[in-house]
Amino acid sequence: MNLPNILVMVILNALLFVKADYARAQTPISVEIIKTETGYKLLRGGKPYFIKGAGGTNYMDKLRNYGGNSIRTWSTHEGQRILDEAHKLGLSVTMGLAMATERHGFDYNDKVAVARQLERVRQEILQFKDHPALLAWGIGNELNLHYRNPKVWDAVEEVASMIQDLDPNHLVTTMLAGVNKKEIDLIKAKCPSLDLIAVQVYGGLASVPAQIRSTGWDKAYIVTEWGPTGHWEGPQTPWHASIEESSKEKAAVYKSRYEASIGQDKSCLGSYVFLWGQKQERTPTWYGLFTEAGEENEVVDVMHYLWKGKWPKNRAPRLDSLLLDGKKSLDFIYLKPGQNYDVAVFVTDSDKDKLRTRWEILHESTDLKEGGDRESRPARIEGLLTALSHDKALLVAPQQEGAYRLFVYVTDDHNHVATANIPFFVSTTENPSHNTLQPPHASNSYQFSETAFWADEFNYTGLPDSTKWSYDVGSKHNGWGNSELQYYTDANLNNVLVSNGTLKITALKEKMEDMDYTSARLVSRHKGDFLYGRFEARAKVPRGRGTWPAIWMLPTEWKYGGWPNSGEIDILEHVGYDQDVVHISVHTKAYHHSIHTQKTATKKIEAASDDFHLYRIDWTPDHIKGFVDDIEIFHFSNEKKTFKEWPFDQNFHWLLNLAVGGFWGGQKGIDSSIFPAILEIDYVRVYNLKNTD
């Protein structure tokens, strides 16, 4: 054989080898779910596989090195590159299939548009279904966020059924915002081809196992987004700036929430932490485990521990506090234009690394979106900060009145960072009215009567006045829908007593009807029902981890449907693990915590459990304002749209109760030594609305 023929044979053999190698590389790895005696198990290639994943496609090599095994995407954009890189690193991929949403204008009644979307998704599935890195398909992202048309679930089923036909080797799911029984009931009825569901939860992660069970979902699930306390869940300033946790606080909640839920629920097949990268969402630091410069915060250390069972050799710096003018975020900081203020940060490093600090001032973000939609980063303001040392700086307050935020980044020599920020408001007055920050259509011309037309002063002894109060009894709907652990008794002096001028609602550690605690819930339904007015309650909350007292209002007739459609008004809420922080909120179909849109405000007050404080809402046709000790902290405007945004045109009634545990009150466990725990109320009063328009 001559040399040219030999060369041809060598080349042909090489090509055949490459083709065979490529074919082997494109052999899918079969994935399945099996039911066990205690729950469910995921098998990949016949071997047990628990998802230790992250959302995002950055830093995949670090993910693998720190013990992670999977990534999640939101679409098939750059799908080949992502799958190939993941495969080289030994990672799997839950591949997102982008689906249009109603909140972005898509109409699921449009059969042509739905068919066009289905065909586009079909081509994406055919392109990637045989890739060995593929683990599962995720249909859409939070399709239940601000949707009205249940036909979206018909479209999900069409895609899921198509995947079962085209790709029997991989799982198929859809990603839901929160855990909501209504949506899960629809999915159970309309989407039988889904192998499992995927939920996305932040502050309420620890309660997900109980919530999943309460919906009746009897298949496996995964958590495809989880992370810090969401910007819709935590405290807000009077000017409606959400208060972000520091990197230290985030590390603590990531660890505790994971260990309480994902780490122990046998029906959970794993999760994808959010976000393995960086993005602007409310702030540049809220959700990313990395900074814009690629530095790793303390949460990355936590994920290393959760995935590998041991801490990394070198740890990130730990930021204990950030102070502006000697105050923290929850002190709600007001500065005068052009004046000087001290800034201090307190940071430690367990490895004794040399630390460096950088500071930044931004305008408070106004490009606010929902559902993770892209937001623009506010411009940096130069020339206002002078570093005095690694832990101190001098701030000159901006000349222009308005809302700002101070950021600090403390780094070591190992690409680690500690972060925190403080929102502040620049004003020429000591306590500015924040009505100027509200939408222009919010009316300020309402007044209220000087004397209460309905009240209970609790100036008698014995059970509460039966002409004003009835009782909710029992532990209905899986702990009243919140996984609470108390049984509410009926007119029991051990749990509810008026004496010495106050109402005392007492939670006791005692068994009743398979519940471990007893307490009371008073309601004024059909004895005190109101449309508009000023509602006041002077109260002292209990002290101790595990309590969840509330003074609130619900609709009397539920004209617009079950919760949250017909609305809820929370005049006071408190959870015992977050002492001296009180909450005022409203809930509607469009705005509630299950879909990450809750409208709420929080205030830190002195001695919430030692002294009485005045809690109040002013409810008018145009707005609901909330006050603590006559200081406005909350404002919710009537957008003049539909009942979904404003169901507050019907009668509501009072509820006074003390819950134990639950998805919020029990988020950090229950201290059994605190009982009996007492919510004490001096009075409740209602003043008539007088419209002076």
Closest CA to 98 of 286, 375, 368, 372: 372
- Is the CB of residue 484 less than 8 Å from the CB of residue 515? no
- Please give the pLDDT value at position 22: 42
**The residue type at 187:** I
- Which residues does 192 contact at the CB level (< 8 Å), separation at least 6? 157
What string of DSSP letters covers 461-486? -BS--TTT-EE--B-HHHIIIIIB-E
- Please give the pLDDT value at position 480: 87
Domains of the chain, start order: 71-230+238-268 (3.20.20.80), 318-434 (2.60.40.10), 448-690 (2.60.120.200)
Tokens of 449: 């009567």
- Please give the pLDDT value at position 514: 86
Tokens of 419: 């972060």
- Please give the pLDDT value at position 147: 84
Closest CA to 524 of 681, 691, 690: 681
C-alpha to C-alpha distance for 217 and 185, rounded to whole angstroms: 8
**The residue type at 590:** A
Catalytic residues: 568, 573
What are the mean pLDDT values of the chain's consecutive 10-residue runs (693 residues total)? 50 46 67 95 97 96 98 96 97 97 90 96 97 98 89 97 97 93 91 96 88 90 95 84 94 94 95 96 96 97 98 96 94 95 97 96 88 85 93 96 96 97 90 45 65 94 96 87 92 96 97 94 96 96 96 96 94 94 94 84 89 95 91 86 94 97 92 96 94 50
- Is the CB of residue 304 less than 8 Å from the CB of residue 52? no
- Is the CB of residue 652 less than 8 Å from the CB of residue 568? no
Phi, psi (degrees; rounded to nearest 5) at 626: -120, 140
Burial class, 352, CB count within 10 angstroms (exposed 0-12 / middle 13-18 / buried 19+): exposed
The residue assigned the tokens 């090195």 is 65
C-alpha to C-alpha distance for 647 and 619, rounded to whole angstroms: 12
How many other CB atoms are found less than 10 A from the CB of residue 362? 18
Q: How far is C-alpha 290 from the geometric centre of its chain's CA atoms?
A: 20
What string of DSSP letters covers 358-383? EEEEEEPP----STT---PPPPBPPS
Please work out, in degrees rounded to the nearest 5, the angle formed at the alpha carbon of residue 225 by the alpha carbons of 216 and 56.
145
Partners of 601 in the beta sheet? Answer: 584
- Please give the pLDDT value at position 20: 38
pTM of the predicted model, to two decimals?
A: 0.68
What string of DSSP letters covers 135-175? EEEEEEE-TTTT---THHHHHHHHHHHHHHHH-TTSEEEEE
- E strand or H helix that includes residue 447: strand 446-448
